[in-house]
Chains A and B, each alone.
Chain A
């Protein structure tokens, strides 16, 4: 991901600026700019250090494949379980938070996913990435949870399947995407139908393949693209709707 790779470059630039200011300070230049650069340097150093250490995204290079912990967990070592939970719970919680309607649901689901993992850990094939398997279990659980709740959204999903996909004006689409912040997107995500939301989370949060998504949602692989595109359309509508609402509110 571009924004992830950009981080270290920004940090290098910060380092360079800090060095320049240090040289200037040694040469008895203005100390003001040194303070600013130092702050920036330490702030970004701290940020990237945290970024490297945080277990938010499991595929991040900060965390190696926990082969040993998994082996111990399979043998029933409670401490190994604790370690796995510590490393992966934040990511799983965020996954559930994006996929399920409320925070309480996400909390419950996270705990339940880890309960399920205990029972299923022996089914895990160590040659494949652990995080991928974990997301699969989580997706499975969340989708089950959503499906069990027979609420009006079922109807909506059916309706949206019948609608033809309209082709947007590229530059208009480009502008819409450019103007929206992450927070707005998160807000809009909450308005989507459950299948759309689930598909987007599986694809863009946990980076699951089309095959895996097809498997989870119970659709043909060729149809996954349609589901995703429809989900994007729903999201754009929600973003536009929210924006219109906000504009109306401000007026």
Chain B
């Protein structure tokens, strides 16, 4: 730096005899010279017209600079005005309250639903551990769960990372890197080791039979129209079929997705079934868990452990070693129950010959019908289900408020994480016809597709992910519709915070409308259809950019021809 050669003192001494140099002139105009030197300059300028012009020009330059910088050539950006509004209205306490309410909601959800559920499962003889623990670590459903969970954890981590990347996108500068990270993550997830299965697969068309003398060592996956097991499966049995008959012996668990499951033989482990009808006339050493339309345990049928059912009709004529937990429409007991019964539903009937050794709790519409011949250790504890009571409870409204706050908080996070996607969803929602149409398709079609994907074991990950996504969309639907309603009421806006304000108002309105008796249900249904359709439409549009996106970008091509959403890493023809 040639600082010293330009120092003002030197210039002044050198040049004061002749003309003023520019540096001295500027320092004089700026009032930076000391008194004595300033006087010298002033005296010189009085005699020298050239220096006077220089001083005047420098002074004018200063003024020109100040003037041009001070001029309000552009208004305060609305983004800053919005920031100002949010600062002025001191919204912090409101958001604090919302966060608090949401936390309370989460806690309530846990204590109100998850914990009792766990307790019931424990009562039902699922061991002392939690359901999650049981399902995941003890391999109740499938031994591959543990690997699956690791995979799910990885996916969750990826999702969080993805969100963080989206959030930091502006700082990363360039969508290419984001896309690359996502792809790398997905590849890493896909290359995770798949669960070890020393298994036999059978997929032989119409009927699969395991003959009487046949013994299968290890697990058996059977997939066909009809599955008949007459021999022995020394391991677990997985069946995906229309009808399944187990006449032989299964030493492990039976997991069945079937229209009709008939157990005449012997199962040493548990039965978990997702069926229309489950018929047990043989013996099951451990527990029975079913999601079904009808479950029958015959006179000859015997379940060593507990029975847990989610169904329409449950009839037990045989023997159950431990507790029964039944969520269903009609429950009829005529057999011998070693433990207690916890039932919820429309009716509970004890026929003569029924014997229950434990306590019986029933919550339902009608009082339980106990035949005189039935032997109950303790009288039935009955709770009448009351339909309209919930509106009268003050707690009901408190929880409504808490849930609304939770939805709003979720919406706030979404709008901040994915502002462009939120806007795209809103834009889609304004195409009413397309939204509702797609909403119907997605609401009913996606779960079915996810279920089918789950049945083919390879697609389990995809199926479960799709299902989770579907659930999220279901939840987000009210946020999208709420924002649209808010915009109807308060007018359109492009600012994120104003949009969030409209979202808050709209969500409250939508939720209040949803509370109207009878009509409310239909409103909620319409909201779900509309919102889901809008979100799906936005997702669809996001993944199908205009054609130019797939054309290789040549250097000669002006950058403006690329659509704004083009991802640099988008698939290009090789």
Contact = CB atoms under 8 A, between A and B. Distances in A.
Contacts of A82: 84, 87-90
Interface stretch (B3-11, B209-217, B374-382): B3-11
A244 interface: no
B72 A56 contact: yes
A83 B90 CA distance: 11
Contacts of A81: 87, 90
A182 B76 contact: no
A210 B31 CA distance: 11
A111 B86 CA distance: 12
Interface in A53-86: 54, 56-57, 78-79, 81-83, 85-86
A20 to B, nearest CB: 31
Contact of B71 (A83, A173, A182): A182
Nearest to A223: B3
For chain A, which range describes its interface: under 10, 10 to 19, 20 to 34, or 35 or more residues?
Answer: 35 or more
B21 interface: yes
Interface SS of chain A: helix, strand, loop or mixed? helix
Contact of B68 (A54, A182, A210): A182
B76 A183 contact: no
Interface in B486-523: none
A15 interface: no
B26 A232 contact: yes
Interface stretch (B57-65, B359-367, B463-471): B57-65
A89 B70 contact: no
Given A2-B63, A226-B23, A177 B57 contact: yes
For chain B, which range describes its interface: under 10, 10 to 19, 20 to 34, or 35 or more residues?
Answer: 35 or more
B43 interface: no
Nearest to A178: B60
A1 B79 CA distance: 32
A3 B61 CA distance: 14
Nearest to A168: B22
Contacts of A103: 74, 77
A229 B60 contact: no
B92 A78 contact: yes
Contacts of A79: 88, 90
A177 B61 contact: yes
28 contacts: A3-B63, A78-B92, A79-B90, A82-B87, A82-B88, A82-B90, A85-B84, A85-B87, A85-B88, A89-B83, A93-B77, A107-B79, A170-B50, A173-B58, A173-B61, A177-B61, A178-B60, A182-B71, A186-B68, A200-B69, A210-B30, A222-B7, A225-B32, A226-B3, A228-B30, A229-B22, A229-B23, A232-B61
Given A94-B69, A174-B60, 19 more contacts: A1-B63, A54-B72, A57-B70, A79-B90, A81-B90, A86-B88, A94-B70, A103-B74, A110-B80, A114-B87, A170-B51, A170-B57, A185-B68, A189-B69, A204-B66, A220-B3, A225-B8, A225-B26, A228-B30
Interface of B: 1-3, 6-8, 21-23, 26-27, 30, 32, 50-51, 53-54, 56-58, 60-74, 76-77, 79-80, 83-84, 87-90, 92
